[in-house]
């Protein structure tokens, strides 16, 4: 399959779906939903230049290391964890790049994800300012501004324009500046058209730049930089509870601790199986 990718016999999209399936990710499980990368860093230009390397996200780094300042903050967090007997608690990130709430928040304008999101939120929508309302602001949060946000994307960002519109007219609330939430705000280069956004975003995924660098992101999410010394060096370690396949819950005798671990995984995400 990798040789087919190198020869451009299959698309980058199809290859990523293949890897997600191998790693146990499925549309049927919000906790292990297929994960896709942010591929762009330009959400402000009037036109999208797919020949300019600066248009793209650095695929060799996790979302927590997209800026030097943010990377150093996470390294500092890792180094400052008190050296107790439980060294496994030492990690860069206590949140995850894919979880049920992240998936539902992206797709909240479509059923059955609306109901799922409200269920996960205790029966109602979230505070409007925290809802997914803008591609640009979500990128800035996950790549730069919010130390508890390292989210990646889902496959729908590359083929499904409908999830970007509030066709069901849900009352999603108003932001602090008085803006009522409706359709997702798109980058200028999309001209307010969800179909154009999806078209250009898919072209970005299949671009020469992404094709040449996608293997770096795959190493982080599905490959050898997932855990161990390679993950530490890559600033890519997560709370040990996220590594579900590395934990033997049968050896956890305390039911409260076991329940905590399972709740942690279901609410905050799970690392894909290494492929």
| Structure confidence at residue 242 (pLDDT) | 85
| Structure confidence at residue 250 (pLDDT) | 65
Enumerate domains of the chain plus CATH numbers: 1-266 (1.10.1540.10)
pLDDT at residue 221 above 80? yes
Stretch (H or E) spanning 117: helix 113-120
Mean pLDDT of 197-225: 97
Distances (CA, A) of 141 to 10, 28, 62, 204: 32, 27, 14, 21
d(C-alpha 137, C-alpha 143), whole Å: 10
Give the tens place of pLDDT for each residue, 35-50. Answer: 999 999 999 999 999 9
Between residues 160 and 267, which one has the greater pLDDT? 160
Reported confidence tier of residue 55, pLDDT bands at 50, 70, 90: very high
Mean pLDDT of 57-69: 97
| Structure confidence at residue 85 (pLDDT) | 44
pLDDT at residue 86 above 60? no
Q: What is the mean pLDDT of the chain?
A: 90
Tokens 């898919």: give the residue: 202
d(C-alpha 172, C-alpha 180), whole Å: 8
| Structure confidence at residue 247 (pLDDT) | 60
d(C-alpha 128, C-alpha 4), whole Å: 44
| Structure confidence at residue 61 (pLDDT) | 98
Between residues 250 and 43, which one has the greater pLDDT? 43
């Amino acid at each position: 399959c990798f040789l087919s990718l190198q020869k451009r016999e299959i698309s980058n999209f199809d290859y990523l779906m293949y890897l997600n399936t191998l790693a146990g990710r499925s549309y049927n499980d919000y906790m292990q939903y297929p994960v896709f990368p942010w591929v762009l860093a330009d959400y402000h230009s009037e036109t999208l230049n797919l020949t300019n390397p600066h248009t793209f996200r650095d695929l060799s780094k996790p979302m927590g290391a997209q800026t030097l300042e943010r990377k150093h903050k996470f390294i500092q967090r890792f180094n400052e964890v008190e050296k107790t007997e439980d060294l496994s608690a030492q990690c860069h990130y206590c949140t995850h790049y894919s979880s049920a709430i992240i998936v539902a928040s992206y797709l909240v304008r479509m059923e059955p994800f609306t109901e799922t999101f409200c269920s996960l939120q205790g029966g109602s929508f979230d505070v409007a300012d925290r809802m997914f309302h803008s591609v640009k602001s979500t990128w800035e949060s996950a790549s730069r501004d919010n130390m508890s946000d390292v989210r990646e994307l889902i496959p729908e960002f590359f083929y499904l324009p409908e999830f970007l519109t509030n066709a069901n007219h849900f009352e999603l609330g108003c932001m602090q500046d008085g803006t009522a939430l409706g359709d997702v705000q798109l980058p200028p280069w999309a001209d307010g058209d969800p179909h154009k956004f999806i078209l250009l975003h898919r072209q970005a995924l299949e671009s020469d730049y992404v094709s040449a660098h996608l293997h770096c992101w795959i190493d982080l999410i599905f490959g050898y930089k997932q855990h161990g010394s390679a993950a530490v060096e890559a600033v890519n370690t997560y709370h040990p509870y996220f590594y579900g396949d590395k934990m033997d819950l049968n050896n956890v005798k305390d039911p409260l601790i076991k329940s905590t671990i399972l709740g942690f995984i279901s609410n905050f995400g799970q690392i894909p199986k290494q492929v």
